[in-house]
Amino acid sequence: MGPHPAVAAIRLAVRRVLHDLLTEHHRAPAAVPHASPHEPQQPPLVLVACSGGADSMALASALAFESPKLGIRAGGVTVDHGLQPGSDARAAEVVQRLRELGLDPVDSVAVTVGRAGGPEAAARDARYAALDTAAERHGAAAVLLGHTRDDQAETVLLGLARGSGIRSLSGMAAVSGAGGRYRRPFLGLDRQTARKACMVQSLPVWDDPHNADPAYTRSRLRHEGLPALEKALGKGVVEALARTARLSRDDADALDSWAGQAEATVRDDAGLLECAKLYALPPAVRRRVLRRAAIAAGAPAGSLFARHIEEVDRLITGWRGQGAINLPGKVVAQRQGGRLVIRQG
């Protein structure tokens, strides 16, 4: 008799990602400098980021089960955000559970959460910085994250609310980070499957009280927004939103590629952007070219919003002699003699 369907589903999702990683590993040159080409490559190390919640515990269990069969080393890391009393003891419990699954190495990393961008964004930034550091310290080929289809649906809705274009509707990528470090095997699975897999394997699960705290935007969306949408529109909203993310990502990638090619054609011999040539581009491509130019001039990508790019775009499409546009990072955009100049002010 095979495993429970939920357990089979999480294992299959992880197996697919591990196969991809092995293929990439064998294609890559040996990581050790001056190593003999006849020496066998050391098997890759894959870490799972685990909070102790159902999604990441299910992911850790599947990684522990699948990795030995493929000759992959598997470890784990938990991040202690220090936002709740006893968070250090909770992190120590997670470390113990990961070790009991057979993962090695297992790390607990304490971080200090700042205030930039609000509490959710600050915690996320601190968490990814800690995961990056842990991956580099251990030489990990990848870090697995337990985001599910439900998380993806929430991300799409948050992007829709921000009104910042198709890229914000594309949600989380299955592969992201420097060199494709982060992998999300569960984006095609719902949250209930992960919880069920933990239950049938008798894995203890910790439910973070922040996930039910109405002070957090994502929590309100999870407990009030999505249920209201499902009530109004029927079941299948989560699947539809996740599908929207996939389609939007394909479209955004295509437009980004087009903008990259167009950028070379709209510059003059001195490398300045020609307004007439910019005007001839489709708006979605033109705005991407403008955004790339602003970032290249020193504007921080995370602070550059759609409204900034729309203001710069009006220098092309609605030229009435208006003055310079101030952008984040002390970058200035202005029109000069049929050229658009974007530089540090």
Dihedrals φ, ψ of 15, to 5°?
Answer: -60, -40
pLDDT score at 188: 96
DSSP H helices, 139-225, are 149-162, 166-169, 191-200, 217-220
In our burial notation (b when 16+ CB lie closer than 10 A, e otherwise), range 209-223 reads ebeeeeebebbebbe
Q: Are 337 and 321 in contact (CB under 8 A)?
A: no
Residue 292 to residue 133: CA distance in whole angstroms:
28
pTM of the full predicted structure? 0.86
Cα 67 to Cα 45: distance, rounded to the nearest angstrom? 9
- Of 207-211, 217-221, 323-327, 338-342, give the lowest mean pLDDT range: 207-211
The CA distance from 191 to 43, in Å, is: 31
Residue 84 — very low, low, confident or very high, per pLDDT cuts 50/70/90?
confident
Q: Is residue 60's pLDDT more than 50?
A: yes
Compute the chain's Rg from CA coordinates.
23
pLDDT of 35 reads 47
Specify the length of the chain in residues: 345
Mean pLDDT of 257-284: 96
Torsion of CA 245, 198, 125, 332, to 10 degrees: 0
Contact call for residues 299 and 328 (beta carbons, < 8 A) = yes
User: Which range has the worst mean pLDDT, 47-51, 56-60, 208-212?
Assistant: 208-212
pLDDT > 90: what percent of the chain? Answer: 74
- Packing angle between helix 226-233 and helix 149-162, nearest 10 degrees? 90
Tell me how far apart the alpha carbons of residues 290 and 309 are, in angstroms, rounded to a whole number: 7
Residue whose structure tokens are 């990072």: 329
Closest CA to 193 of 336, 4, 1: 4
Per-residue pLDDT, averaged over 233-240, amounts to 92
- Edge-to-edge, what's the strand order for the sheet holding 142-144? 106-110, 73-80, 45-49, 142-144, 182-183, 175-176
Amino acid at 153: A
Q: Is the pLDDT score of 328 beyond 90?
A: yes
**Nearest partner of 180 among 286, 46, 73, judged by Cα:** 46
| Residues 77, 84 contacting (CB under 8 angstroms) | no
Among residues 298, 301, 294, 279, the alpha carbon closest in space to that of 325 is found at: 294
Angle between helices 54-70 and 191-200 (to 10 degrees): 70
DSSP letters for 162-187: HT--HHHHS---SEESGGG-EE-GGG
Distance CA(113)–CA(92), nearest Å, equals 19
Confidence check: pLDDT of 10 > 90: yes
Phi, psi for residue 152 in degrees, rounded to 5: -65, -45
